[in-house]
Structure 1
Amino acid sequence: MSGPTLADVARAAEVSTATVSHALNGTGRLADATRRRVREVATALGYGARRPPRTPRTGGTLGVAVTTYAGSAWNFLEVPYFARLLTAATATAHAHGYALTILPATCGAETSWHTLTVDGMLLLDSPKDDPVLRALRARGIPLVFDGRPIARRPEDVWVDNDHTATTREVLRHLAASDARRIVLHAGHGDEHYTRAVTRAYEQWCHEHGRTPLVLTFDPYDTSGHGFDAVFAARACDAVYTVYDPGGRQVLAAAARHGLRIPDDLLLVCVSEDQAYAENDPPVSTVTLHPATIAETAVTALVSRLSPTTPPPPPGALTVPAVLHPRRSSLRRPRHSGHLDGR
């Protein structure tokens, strides 16, 4: 059964077929409101969603998009996590005979999603009310997610770490080094990762009778001024930062406030950047194993497209994260002295 036609979209949007063509292809001189309305109508009708079934070993094209801040101009390839994941995703796609298209972060729901030609999509860190996800679902494009989708469906497949278990492991490790007031440096995005880590941290603090303190990560705060008030008051003695640049921000702020690591302040950072291991002192890191996540996710997506390979079961495919303790989070228990801001 065929899907809606260009004429169907034109009738529903009350415009000409030429206007529909211009709106969907990003051509012509159209008012932004008209172009947006036509694309919304096309998405609602599922225009372009129905495609002929694939035949064995024909290959094709897969797409990858980081949609946490879709439409924002940020270079996710500068982040070691995404750089390693996308390198592995490309290699895995090529091994299965597929090309891989990596969409820039500036591709929001109002740009190319209505006409994007791919056989399947890998979405990274899809947030709440993701407009890109809505557009892709409306077109019926097969999806696999890196990170649990917030607006998930029963048939969805995603690859992720166990962020609850990892967070609790890090907090136990810091507590074993006599950390008494641990700050969580997170809360920047609205994807499952941020939510899961924050929830696990707050639950651990509740269980251990500690007051939670969450500082919001700012990617542009290279000097770590977001820590100034807490460090000046000596209100914490450990930081768990869950974004790659956060460790450098902590180091910069600690140096500015005369805090020695690890004597005065313990630090663990989620990062794939080897430079942390070469720091003085070496910084403890958590690796989320992005290359393994990419291999698992792309293989699952290819299986969903193949007419001969059984599709992966819906739900989570879990890749274990690993804590690498280094000197920044190792300290002998203290039996005297305080760091409580009094």
Structure 2
Amino acid sequence: MSVTIKDVAKRANVAPSTVSRVIHNSPAISEKTKRKVRKVLKEMGYHMNENARNLVTKSTKAIGIVMKNSARESLYNPFFPEVIRGIGDFCNKEGYSLSLTTGETEDAIFEDVVKMVQGRRVDGMIVLYSKKDDKVVPYLLKQGFPFVLIGKPSTNMSGITFIDNDNVQAARELSEFVINLGHQRIAFLGGSPEFEVIQARLRGFQQAMEQAELDVPKEYIKLIPLNRADGIKAIKELLNLPEAPTAFMVMDLLLGVLLLGVLAEKNLKVPEQVSVVCFNHSEFIEFLSTPLTTVDIHTYQLGFEAAKCVFDLIANPEMMEKSIRIPTKIIKRESHFVVKKENK
């Protein structure tokens, strides 16, 4: 049988109203009384009836997370557990839980969002991607529902608060790093072009190559869905070119790991024969056979700041939209080599 406020009041020898005020940290109660009551609350294992409180406050105490793909696919990608960790840490401080979309298709994910909004299952949402022709963001805008986007909006829609990196600049800096190693044949291996982040990084890559007066054959650019079969096919097509790339810029850690596997299968050594640089950072990189040089986009911070912003919007729905840029940093490891001048 659950412990009630009356049970705690009887044990602490105070009125039930005093216990209630202690639970809600009322300034009208002395610190001495608060300490006594809190001690009894802990000893008796009292847990507040969140459902009853939420009915009164009209709060669900939950934040919705809109995944890029199905949860099963997304959670294979190191980006998503890390960004959710950042969101979760902030929400935990506020006493909020997380509710993730679980649909297996784009339409099913959208239906999850509609159910969350119409059923008032969450107080706000964080969308973990920015995608061309996406239905979720326009729907949330139309509903006037508090939400934050991780990624720059793919269209010029006003009223959107978003958290992002400067992906054009980050890709340009990574490209310049590879160019300065002496590489001229550099391939760009990225995800689906419908996502804004891929388009932004491609622009940065192209800007750096143009600035260095280096040609980029169309065959060197592979924009593919993040799945194993298509990834392997694209990588093998690049390696089978008459003039294969000597360096790869990879937009995702999963593709980076896949690339290392195909290169090993082809007996191409990294970094002795091929340079590989990648976006995103994860602790597991250090356990790879060749730790990858990466751009750290500070994924945890993206999630933490997004959660902070969505709470601001929940508290103040009339707040003006804002954008926050999270800095990036190149972490040099062991997956690149300097091209000798005579081999250019």
- Tell me the TM-score normalized by structure 1: 0.74
* Aligned-partner Cα distance in 2 for 1:93–1:59: 13
Q: Deviations over 1:234-291 (max 9, x none)?
A: 4211001011211112112212323221122100112333232232332112221111
CA contact (8 A) 2:172 2:207 kept: no
Partner of 1:214: 221
CA contact (8 A) 2:101 2:113 kept: no
The structure with the larger Rg is 2
* Structure 2 residue corresponding to 1:332, chosen from 310, 318, 338: 338
CA distance in 1, matches of 2:264, 2:92: 45
Would the alpha carbon gap of residues 172 and 252 (structure 1) be closer, same or farther in structure 2, given more than 3 Å must change? Answer: same
Aligned to 2:157: 153
Is 2:182 the counterpart of 1:174? no
Whether the aligned pair in 1 keeps the contact of 2:193 and 2:223 (CA below 8 Å) is no
User: How much has 1:94 moved relative to structure 2?
Assistant: 2.1
Q: Distance in 1 between matches of 2:308 and 2:300?
A: 12
Q: Distance in 2 between matches of 1:76 and 1:59?
A: 25
Moved more, 283-292 or 111-120: 111-120
Q: Do 1:168 and 1:200's aligned partners in 2 also have CA atoms closer than 8 Å?
A: yes
The one-letter amino acid of 1:300's match is C
Aligned residue number for residue 235 of structure 2: 227
- Counterpart code for 2:238: V
Query: 1:192, 1:119 → 2: CA distance?
Result: 26
2:114 aligned residue: 113
Matched-pair contact (CA < 8 Å) for 1:75–1:105: no
Kept in 1: contact 2:253–2:278 (CA 8 A): yes
Q: CA deviation at 1:57?
A: 11
Instruction: Specify whether residues 184 and 163 from structure 1 end up closer, same or farther in structure 2 by C-alpha distance, changes over 3 A only.
Output: same
Partner of 2:206: 202
Residues 221, 323 of structure 1: alpha-carbon distance in 2 compared, 3 angstrom cutoff: same
Q: Which residue of 83, 86, 94 maps to 2:84?
A: 86
Q: Separation in 1 of the partners of 2:255 and 2:339?
A: 25
Aligned amino acid, residue 289 of structure 2: D
SS at match of 2:341: coil
Q: 1: CA distance between counterparts of 2:57 and 2:193?
A: 39
Q: Does 1:280 align with 2:303?
A: no
1:10-25 map, 5 Å:
none
Deviation at 1:172, TM superposition (A): 1.4
Q: Is 2:136 aligned against 1:132?
A: yes
Structure 2: distance between partners of 1:183 and 1:317? 30
Q: 1 or 2, which has the higher helix percentage?
A: 2
TM value normalised by structure 2: 0.73
Q: Determine the C-alpha separation between the residues in 1 that align with 2:322 and 2:166.
A: 13
- In the alignment, is the contact (CA less than 8 A) between 1:224 and 1:252 conserved in 2? no
Q: Look up the match of 1:144.
A: 148
Letter in 2 for 1:239: F
Preserved contact between residue 270 and residue 285 of structure 1 (Cα < 8 Å)? yes
Tell whether the 8 Å contact from 2:83 to 2:303 is kept in structure 1 after alignment: yes
Please name the residue that 1:65 is paired with: 66
Against the structure 1 CA distance between its residues 314 and 140, is the aligned structure 2 distance closer, same or farther, given a 3 Å change threshold?
closer
Identity %: 19
Alignment check: 8 A CA contact 2:101 2:109 kept: no
**Match in the other structure for 1:305:** 314
Instruction: Number of aligned residue pairs: give it.
Output: 279
Q: Structure 2: where are the runs of 5+ without partners?
A: 1-54
Q: Could you list the per-position Cα deviations for residues 276-309 of structure 1 after superposition, in whole angstroms to 9, with x for gaps in the alignment?
A: 22323321122211111111111111011114x9
The alpha-carbon deviation at position 136 of structure 1 amounts to 2.2
Q: Which amino acid aligns with 1:209?
A: E
Partners of 1:224 and 1:250 within 8 A in 2? yes
Question: 1:78, CA displacement in angstroms?
Answer: 1.8
User: Are the aligned partners of 1:243 and 1:271 in contact in 2 as well (CA < 8 Å)?
Assistant: yes
CA distance in 2, matches of 1:112, 1:270: 29
Superposed counterparts of 1:94-105, under 5 Å: 94-105=92-103
Offset at 1:208? 1.8
Structure 1: state its 5+ residue gaps: 1-53
The answer to whether residue 319 in structure 2 is matched with residue 315 in structure 1 is no
User: Following TM superposition, by how much is the alpha carbon of 1:90 offset from its aligned partner in structure 2, in angstroms?
Assistant: 1.5
Listed one character per residue, the Cα deviations across residues 80-123 of structure 1 (whole Å, up to 9, x for unaligned) are 11001112212211212322211124333345515342221111
